[in-house]
Amino acid sequence: MLGTVEIHPVTTRRELKAFIRFPWKVYRADPLWVPPLISDRLAYLDPARGIFYKDADVALFTAREGRQVLGTIAAFVDHARARYVGRAEGGFGFFEVLEEYGAAAALLDTCRGWLRQRGMVSVRGPTNFGDNDSPGVLIAGTDYPPAMLEAHTPPYYKDFLERYGMQKENDLYAWRVTFERVGTALHGAPSDIVHVADAARKDSALSIRRIRLENWDQEVSTILALFNATMETIPGAVPIGEEDFGRLASQMRPFLDPELGLIAEIGGAPVGYCLLIPDTNRVLARLNGRLFPFNWIRIGRYIREIDVVSFKLLGVLKEYRRRGIDALLYVEALAKAKERGYQWLDGSLTSELNPVINLIARSRGAEMYKHYRLYRMPV
């Protein structure tokens, strides 16, 4: 039986390490959980080094019974997001808790109280600060490990949040398809998307090139500009900042295959992009949170053994749509991934607020293999 739960703010490096290491306790019997790199978490959650802290207020808390940690939560106000959406809305994330509802409720009470003191009227989450890093709790799809930047949570998280009174904001989906099936669509019977791509390929003004890792900073800047511009039409989408995008890009850089990153140009100007990324989680799952002392030696071999690519990024500027550029990028990238020996494709995450992309995924034979949910409530 649960005794007295006390909430403690994280104020020291020792407490921060305990905060970061706590998920190992939640998932100790879960073989599908993918541990984050402890060094990355320490940098990300350090106010002196974390990029997010530059335009945000953040507080980390642990729930304890005596000396035993029962759960963790981050309460935060992302000022850039609040300005963009025009709402006094805070967030919660890094929400991990043992199967003790009292501890979960105490953490959420503390988070809401902290946000209320800062003038917020609602709270949204869970997100690990940004919507592009493991958003939501898992509603369905506990039979397969998550791909990169996808969350993995126990089933009772949903129950705890809804028991507490949180309401659904929107759902997110992950899709998968084997390259055996993709290959049939690309190289076998006639396919509408292949016909559209073939038509686009005849446009003499259009060219497709691979990303140039040797021009890293310029390529990251180009893809960021295209990403934010092409996301404008999606309800609820918030632009990602340059530093945050750069942080994610730097984490992915060792895994990138330049043959799977494509830029579409018209007259030399970038108008669209597609990026398939070898799934970093296939490596992280084997490191148990640590690169040293020996894992760094093995990491090159682990990367070469990745058999999954994650389809995270594709977009074409609004004024160049309906010309088949997106179809051509898609076909070229998938054909190259199949040629390079990857076994299947993860497509994630898509929002229920973007029904067109979900319809396209289903119509192409993809299986929805994970279902996530974001929540909201007044503070």
User: What's residue 173's pLDDT?
Assistant: 96
Question: Fold match between 6-130 and 176-371?
Answer: yes
Q: How many helices (H) and strands (E) does the chain have?
A: 14, 13
User: What's residue 309's pLDDT?
Assistant: 94
Options 3.90.400.10, 3.40.50.2000, 3.40.630.30, 3.40.630.10; CATH for 6-130 is: 3.40.630.30
CA dihedral (309, 315, 321, 326) in degrees, to 10, reads: -10
Is 0.85 topped by the overall pTM? yes
User: What's residue 7's pLDDT?
Assistant: 97
- E strands, the chain, are 6-9, 56-65, 68-78, 89-97, 122-125, 137-140, 167-178, 206-210, 261-266, 269-278, 308-316, 344-351, 367-378
Provide CATH code, domain 176-371.
3.40.630.30
Domains in the chain: boundaries: 6-130, 176-371
Residue 99, classified by CB atoms within 10 Å of its CB into exposed (0-12), middle (13-18) or buried (19+), is middle
Q: Which residues pair with 373 in a beta bridge?
A: 137, 171
Residues in the chain where the model's pLDDT stays below 70 = 1-2, 181-191, 235-236, 293-294
User: What's residue 182's pLDDT?
Assistant: 60
Query: In this structure, are residues 312 and 348 in contact, taking their beta carbons and an 8 Å threshold?
Result: yes
User: What's residue 62's pLDDT?
Assistant: 98
User: What's residue 227's pLDDT?
Assistant: 92
Could you give the C-alpha distances from 377 to 111, 322, 346, in angstroms and in order? 12, 39, 31
Instruction: Residue 41: count other Cβ atoms within 10 Å of its Cβ.
Output: 21
Instruction: Residue 138: count other Cβ atoms within 10 Å of its Cβ.
Output: 20
User: What's residue 187's pLDDT?
Assistant: 45
